RNA sequence: GCGCCAGUAGCUCAGAUGGAUAGAGCAACGGACUUCUAAUCCGUAGGUCGAGGGUUCGAUUCCUUCCUGGCGCGCCA
């Protein structure tokens, strides 16, 4: 892709200049060690420290046996004018070399944004590698709650970000539809069904307590009548388990859809058993010499790969463990050709990570091919007060309720505002508030404001300039330069957020960009009498608009034209 | 007991590969709407980056010990 004008090649260009200067110093004898160390640039926190800084001189002090500032002086002398790339070079602090670039360098990004359009910020670092992101994967034994919501948005956006930087991504939902939890669901439903028919039955505490169980049972009664009373209990329970699982799963699909989350593929755990893959996985590990028998059970030697203790795959009663099917599942992922597998889990499963990483290695893959994103829990608040929740008693606030109350945009944005590995306070009142306290609207409002300017421009007969048709000299304000610089950082922000699986970086970027825009908007009018200035400003704010819309779009949040 | 994550302003949190005087929002206080949308902006105040030690030119960041909070440590799923 064309990255002319973004600051990544800018760094590269600076690097070349510095390297040349370094060689020149060695040739002249002003420096003597002869090393060509890695040259790093950083973006200083303070504007007065310029646009880029390098600590090269500090790092060379030891080898050169000279004061860092002395080394910096030699380098600056050798750097010379830099053929129009920078307009100021300064030695500062203990020996930093600060570069202040020529203003026009920064405004080039505007043309780039307009020319590339929606492609601006995207990259191909992924090289088309196949990534699978598996997320939500909630058991089909109850509706999604608020915690699932955070995992859902996280997985969804991580997948989107990977796509944006050139990976080939598949989104998958793993359905835990095997094992005794489905049996428990069937039993719960059947008992409620009998209760509906007036039978007095004990409802055990290990059954699913939620109200939704009664709803499904009542629905069955209405549709199917009393016929299950005549079936053997096993058969009835099996029927209820299947029916209930399907019903709940379809509810989950609806909830996700309403939340703007979709999966490309739904993968059934039961299917692994049906196809013999669980046994296949065990056999595969056995061939590779990873297993041993002990105390009547079959063990996987995960300690070989750093796990705390070895793990059982087949219990002494002959039943396979959850771990065994999970290994089969991940082997299946490999067999489908994914280069990278990303699992999004609740943070309470963190103890499971070393085991799964070990499994990867046991299967012959690198531990790095599995990336686990641990999503911390959500504290649901209402006006600062904790909302009580308990899965056991079935009293929990569902994702559906929250999305209906606060809206999709606010809900998604709030879930993404924190690092995934830190706990999140989610205040329903705040998320609902249509005010400046609410960061979602703050960002969306910036977008709507530009759209409003555009409407006014159109009414006044002012055309939005085309790429290359703008005189950037008309942009004289510090705020304008600051906006251009921030826009130029969008590609690297996006790339970092994607590769580190940290969607919150994009959220912070958005807030930053919106903030700078609002400041500019309040300071200066865009549409002024001078057509040259009007055009340039209109061009600039539309670049802001496009990046806002693009980033919001990646987060699955709308960018309204009017608010 | 062992392990993982966290501890940064009154509150909620950012701080990319170790950098210069640690940032933002909310809350508090004081200002700006005959103006392209005030769902906005500007200003003031607010800190022992949990504590101690170490590594180095330089540590919120890396190492180590301790303190506090959350979570996890099954032939459960």
Question: Domain-by-domain residue ranges, chain A?
Answer: 7-101, 110-123+436-555, 133-172+261-375, 180-258
* Minimum CA–C1' distance nucleotide for A347: B71
Please, what's the b/e burial string for A83-107 (b: 16 or more CB within 10 A of its CB; e: otherwise)?
eeebbebbbeeebbbbbbbeeebbb
pLDDT values of chain A reduced to their tens digit, one per residue, 563 residues: 333 334 456 777 888 888 888 888 888 888 887 777 778 888 887 777 888 989 888 888 877 788 888 889 988 988 888 777 888 888 888 888 999 988 888 999 999 999 999 999 999 999 999 999 999 999 999 999 888 999 999 999 999 999 999 999 999 999 999 888 899 999 999 999 999 999 998 898 888 888 899 999 999 999 999 999 999 999 999 999 999 999 999 999 999 999 999 999 999 999 999 999 999 999 999 999 999 999 999 999 999 988 888 999 999 999 999 999 999 999 999 999 999 999 999 888 888 999 999 999 999 999 889 999 998 888 888 877 777 665 555 557 889 999 998 899 999 999 999 888 888 888 888 888 766 668 899 999 999 999 999 999 999 888 899 888 899 999 999 899 999 999 999 998 999 999 999 999 999 999 999 999 999 999 999 999 999 999 999 999 999 999 999 999 999 999 999 98
Q: Which of residues 522-551 of A touch strand B (CB under 7 A)?
A: 522-527
CA of A397 to C1' of B39 (A): 28
**Closest to A140 (Cα-Cα) out of A174, A170, A190:** A174
CA of A547 to C1' of B10 (A): 36
CATH of A110-123+436-555, one of 1.10.730.10, 3.30.465.10, 3.20.20.70, 1.10.1140.10: 1.10.730.10
C-alpha gyration radius of chain A: 30
CATH classification code of A133-172+261-375? 3.40.50.620
Under 8 Å CB-to-CB from A283, ≥6 apart: which residues? none
* Minimum CA–C1' distance nucleotide for A96: B20
Burial of A127 (0-12, 13-18, 19+ CB in 10 A): exposed
CATH classification code of A7-101? 3.30.1360.70
Q: Contact A152/A261 with Cβ under 8 angstroms?
A: yes
Q: Contact A301/A310 with Cβ under 8 angstroms?
A: yes
User: In this structure, what are the phi and psi dihedrals at residue A131, rounded to the nearest 5 degrees?
Assistant: -120, 140
**Closest to A159 (Cα-Cα) out of A341, A333, A327, A331:** A341
Q: Which of residues 33-92 of A touch strand B (CB under 7 A)?
A: 40, 42-46, 48-50, 53, 55, 58-59, 61-62, 68, 92
Strand B proximal to A422 Cβ, under 7 A: yes
Q: Which of residues 154-183 of A touch strand B (CB under 7 A)?
A: 176, 178-181
**Closest to A6 (Cα-Cα) out of A557, A558, A547, A563:** A547
**Closest to A158 (Cα-Cα) out of A418, A493, A424, A500:** A500
Label the pairing between strands A424-427 and A378-382.
parallel
Q: Contact A136/A173 with Cβ under 8 angstroms?
A: yes
């Amino acid at each position: 892709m064309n990255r002319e004008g973004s600051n990544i090649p800018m760094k590269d260009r600076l690097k070349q200049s510095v390297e040349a200067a370094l060689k020149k110093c060695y040739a002249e004898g002003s420096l003597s060690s002869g090393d060509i160390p890695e040259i790093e640039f950083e973006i200083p926190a303070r504007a007065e420290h310029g646009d880029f800084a390098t600590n090269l001189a500090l790092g060379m002090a030891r080898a050169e046996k000279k004061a860092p500032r002395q080394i910096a002086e030699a380098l600056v002398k050798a750097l010379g004018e830099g053929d129009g790339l920078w307009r100021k070079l300064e030695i500062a602090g203990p020996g930093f070399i600060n570069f202040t670039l020529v203003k026009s360098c920064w405004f080039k990004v505007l043309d780039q944004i307009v020319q590339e359009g929606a492609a601006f910020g995207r990259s191909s670092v992924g090289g088309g590698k196949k990534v699978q992101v598996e997320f939500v994967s909630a058991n089909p034994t109850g509706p999604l709650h608020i915690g699932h919501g955070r995992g859902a948005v996280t997985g969804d956006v991580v997948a989107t970000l990977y796509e944006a930087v050139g990976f080939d991504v598949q989104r998958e939902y793993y359905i835990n539809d095997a094992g005794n939890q489905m049996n428990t669901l069937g039993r719960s439903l059947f008992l409620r069904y009998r209760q509906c028919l007036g039978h007095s039955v004990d409802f055990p505490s290990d059954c699913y307590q939620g109200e939704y169980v009664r709803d499904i049972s009542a629905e069955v009664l209405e549709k199917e009548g009393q016929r299950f009373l005549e079936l053997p209990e096993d058969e009835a329970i099996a029927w209820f388990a299947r029916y209930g699982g399907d019903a709940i799963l379809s509810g989950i699909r609806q909830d996700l859809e309403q939340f703007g989350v979709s999966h490309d593929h739904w993968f059934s755990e039961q299917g692994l058993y049906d196809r013999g893959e669980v046994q296949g996985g065990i056999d595969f590990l056995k061939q590779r010499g990873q297993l041993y028998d002990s105390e009547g059970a079959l063990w996987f030697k995960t300690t070989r790969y750093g796990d705390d203790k070895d793990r059982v795959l087949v219990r002494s009663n002959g039943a396979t463990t959850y771990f065994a099917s999970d290994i089969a599942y991940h082997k299946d992922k490999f067999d489908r050709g994914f280069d990278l597998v990303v699992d999004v889990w609740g943070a309470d499963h963190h103890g499971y990570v070393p085991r799964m990483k070990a499994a990867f290695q046991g299967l012959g893959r690198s531990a790095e091919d599995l990336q686990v994103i641990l999503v911390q829990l959500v504290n649901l608040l209402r006006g600062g007060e904790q909302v009580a929740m308990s899965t056991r008693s079935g009293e929990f606030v569902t994702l559906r309720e929250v999305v209906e109350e606060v809206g999709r945009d606010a809900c998604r944005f709030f879930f993404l505002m924190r690092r995934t590995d830190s706990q999140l306070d989610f205040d329903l009142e705040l998320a609902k508030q249509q005010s400046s306290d609410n960061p979602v609207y703050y960002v969306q409002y910036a977008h709507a404001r530009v759209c409003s300017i555009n409407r006014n421009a159109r009414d006044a007969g002012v055309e939005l300039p085309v790429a290359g048709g703008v005189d950037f000299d008309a942009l004289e304000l510090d705020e304008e330069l600051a906006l251009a610089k921030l826009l130029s950082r969008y590609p690297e922000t996006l790339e970092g957020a994607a590769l580190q699986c940290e969607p919150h970086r994009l959220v912070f970027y958005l807030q930053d960009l919106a903030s700078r825009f609002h400041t500019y908007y309040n300071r200066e009018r865009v549409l002024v009498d001078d057509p040259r200035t009007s055009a340039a400003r209109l061009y600039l704010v539309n670049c802001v608009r496009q990046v806002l819309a693009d980033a919001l779009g990646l987060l699955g949040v709308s960018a309204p034209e009017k608010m």
